[in-house]
Structure 1
Amino acid sequence: MKNSILKTLILSCILLAGISAKAQEKTWSVGPEVGLSLSKYGGDAGSNDLKSGAVGGLFLTYSIKNTFGITGKVLYYQKGAYVPDLDLKQTLNYIEVPIIGRYFLIKEGNFRPNIFLGPSFNFLTGVTNKVGTGDRVSQENWDSVYNSFDLGITGGAGLNFLIASETYFIIDARYTHGFSDLTKPAGVINNNSIAITAGISFGF
């Protein structure tokens, strides 16, 4: 009986030590990121080409060092498309909230490439149109034409470079495919976009 209790206590101590070690490996990091987007419409949109835009905001990552992390972002993200037949650049301004799982291909060191995948939640805040060399004009009553929410999936790859203690310079490249119909009229039109961003991650 005493031996069983002793074995149980020893096993419990080993398990607690392992849990404690894992807990110490878990860290948080936060930082800004900015970059460039290239987007166009898919589905029933007809002929359209890539249009450039801006991306920027903040991210927060909870990671288990050497293996896996979960990143949430809040970004201002310009999507839309260029319609060559009309010489029209249409910009859809979103607040994007992607939640991604990130797997690190190299477990430690000054250079840590990674891959990531997750859902993207997008909230439309406005629409602007620019025809030819004319001024950019905000579209009134856009919510009568466009749906305000867009659900998508995003994935890509990143490069993390250690530049100071617990501080990384990060480059991410990702593709986002929208599943939701952008418009309320008949036909299905969705967002497709590529973003390349750079940021600084501060660990704590």
Structure 2
Amino acid sequence: MKKLFLALVISNGFSLVAGAQSKFSLGPNVGVGMSWLDNTPNRKTKLAGNAGLSLVYSAAEHFGIGLDAKYSFEGGKFSANNQTTTSDLNYFRIPLKAIYFFSSYGHKVRPKVFVGPSFGFLSGGQTKIESPVITQTVNSKDFYKSFDFGLTGGAGLNVRLATNTWFNADVNYLHGITDIRPTTKQHNRNLGVNIGVNFGL
């Protein structure tokens, strides 16, 4: 009887631990898209991309919290006064997302929407200024502020590949709020597609 009781306690303990662990998932995430700088004359988009890790905590069936840590290649191109400026802005970006899942845990496909703040820390990149007379290339950190704050939002799908293993795909948009230039009002804009795989912890 004691052995049976002990076996039940151990079994239930493992079940509780497994349930608690499955609330967290972590995995690699990559994306590609286009970025541009708002409030610039004759602006054009440039190729953008990112890569990093995605952590999701979901204690309720339909709600979760996501935290990404990624390296993001952004920037834009614009022209004025007979000169063209191409800015490559490389950020270490941390988006924090509130996630709503439309279907239950047991479903193979779970649509989702998300929204939240995004914190960007400028780590590098180059800015090229071209005119008919001269071409100048400078460090983007000399032209742009080191911190960027914005809002991110989007929609996508989680597809269950195996127990506690999910393939993630989403379309997301970044809307910069803070001015990224010390002297003029410019804001980051970014639209892209991200994919990744998360594993239950």
Q: How does 1:124-203 map onto structure 2 within 5 Å?
A: 124-129=122-127, 139-140=138-139, 142-185=140-183, 187-203=184-200
Identity of aligned residues (%): 33
For 1:130 and 1:157, how far apart are their aligned partners in 2? 34
RMSD over aligned Cα, in angstroms? 2.2
CA distance in 1 between counterparts of 2:31 and 2:115 reads 19
Tell me how far 1:83 sits from its aligned partner: 2.7
Do the aligned partners of residues 59 and 105 (structure 1) sit closer, same or farther apart at CA in structure 2, a change above 3 Å counting? same
Q: Hey, what does 2:37 align to over in structure 1?
A: 41
Q: 1: CA distance between counterparts of 2:54 and 2:170? A: 12
Confirm or deny: 8 A CA contact 1:33 1:199 kept in the other structure. yes
Question: Counterparts of 1:96 and 1:24 in 2: how far apart (Å)?
Answer: 28
State TM-score, norm by structure 2.
0.79
Unpaired segments of 5 or more residues in structure 2?
Answer: 1-15, 131-135
In the alignment, the residues of structure 2 paired with residue 34 and residue 130 of structure 1 have an alpha-carbon distance, to the nearest angstrom, of 27
Structure 1 segments of 4 or more deviating over 4 A?
Answer: 23-26, 84-88
| 8 A contact 2:30–2:195 mirrored in 1 | yes
1:30 aligns with 2:26: yes
Indicate conservation of the 8 Å contact 2:52/2:71, yes or no. yes
User: Could you tell me how far apart the structure 2 residues matched to 1:47 and 1:107 are?
Assistant: 47
C-alpha spacing 1:24/1:129, structure 2 compared with 1 (3 Å): closer
Mapped to 1, the partners of 2:174 and 2:165 lie a distance apart of 27
TM-score, length-scaled by structure 1: 0.78
For the 8 Å contact 2:129–2:137, the answer to whether it is kept is: no
Equivalent residues, number: 176
Give, in whole Å, the separation in 2 of the partners of 1:46 and 1:147.
20
Q: Which amino acid is the alignment partner of residue 138 of structure 2?
A: Q
Of 77, 83, 94, which aligns to 1:82? 77
1:69-108 → structure 2 map (5 Å cutoff):
69-83=64-78, 86=83, 88-108=85-105
